[in-house]
Amino acid sequence: MVEAMNQFIKGMDVSTLPELLGLGAKYYDQGKEEAPLSILKKYGADSLRVRLWNDPYSPQGKPYGAGTNDFDKLVWIAQEGKKLGFTYLLDFHYSDFWTDPGKQIVPKAWQGMDADGLEKAVYSYTRETLEKLGEKGLLPDMVQVGNEVTNGLLWPLGKEGNYDNIARFISAGIRAVREVDASIPVMIHLDCGGNNEKCRKWFDEYTKRGADFEVIGLSYYPFWHGTIEDLSNNMNDLAARFGKEIVVAEVSMGHTMEDYKEYEKLSDSERKGMATKPHLAEAVAYPMTPQGQADFMNDVMKKIAEVPGGLGRGFYYWEPAWIPVPGCGWANEESLAYMNDPGPGGNEWANQALFDYDGNVLPALSVIRDFKGEASEKGNQ
């Protein structure tokens, strides 16, 4: 990796932060209000992850919400982070809104293109974005080509099973990164952090066809992706099999199961409710309490640092600052229409932030700050 990211990465995905601040979110450390990025930096965070959506606005120009992560939001976060000494990972979704294993929607401007057209569009968009960032002195320290591409990207032409097109599209993005700055490491990101069989098959197929890359990114949510031992076994196997660095590109854990309806100020029909449904939370080995969240993060960091060969490079906590403030949900009327999703919206993540519902620092941040990565020496033996 580039020199700035050679340490064990303690990263934070703060993509929704500009919207949260605009809606009045406030954050506190020991009762004192402070800027959230300053708090995260004080508690050991050293890198930011920022998603980028191509055009997160309706044809009438209305924002899609959930951060409305356009180029201007990216620039703001990168600039604010740079002032504090953060590196950053740029997460290209190649869509106008969320992408994940359940949806990979072609951007409005690219709809109707054939595979050749999509390949060219990925290349041009990636290159032009990076060139604009370079002009501002804001080139990212790592680039993620696609988001949770386990089931492909740019559906239907790049859907799961069409490994030729999947490799073409991802390789086009990688080629653009290399041509702008060959020193920037590239991540390919799957969601299924505890599923070794699926990850192994995906990378077996990709590496037969696709451009080289440096980092395997994994999402690991314990209520969806298996036990922490499943994650550890998968990381260890992927590192040994492919010789790539491993970053847990998304991770989080609940600190409570108490509802936050009163904070959102939405009717029941307007809110989806927390992602950690009770039956999912009950299956997790850690209680969803402040201490359970802290213990979970301590164990995740240890497992990453223990990946053999020193290939476990760190993590990005997903949306640590997404506390429940009115108006900041996962989707709104315009974005639901884009996705052809019935909804509803609302905040699914507030009980997994690293701040409580009132914006106060939670104990997990101290655990992150104090983790020294001692296990990395063991991993190098």
Active site residues: 148, 250
Task: Please give the DSSP secondary-structure letter assigned to residue 63.
Answer: B
CA 216 to chain centre: 13
The vertex-91 CA angle with 86 and 96, nearest 5°, equals 135
- Give the sign of the dihedral formed by CA 369, CA 370, CA 374, CA 375: negative
Determine if residue 140 is left, alpha or beta; phi over 0 gives left, psi from -120 to 50 gives alpha, anything else beta: beta
The closest of 194, 177, 204, 198 to 233, measured between CA atoms, is: 194
Alpha helices in 163-289, H assignment, sequence order: 163-180, 196-209, 228-242, 261-264, 278-282
Instruction: Give the span between the Cα atoms of 356 and 260, in whole angstroms.
Output: 10
Instruction: Give the span between the Cα atoms of 159 and 152, in whole angstroms.
Output: 5
The closest of 325, 324, 313, 315 to 352, measured between CA atoms, is: 324
Instruction: Give the span between the Cα atoms of 256 and 253, in whole angstroms.
Output: 9
Alpha helices in 44-146, H assignment, sequence order: 71-83, 115-135
In three-state secondary structure terms, 91 is strand
- Give the sign of the dihedral formed by CA 318, CA 28, CA 301, CA 182: positive
Instruction: Return the bridge partners of 69, or none.
Output: none
Instruction: Return the bridge partners of 190, or none.
Output: 218
**Which residues lie closer than 8 Å to 99 by C-beta, 6 or more apart?**
93, 105, 146, 147, 148, 149, 153
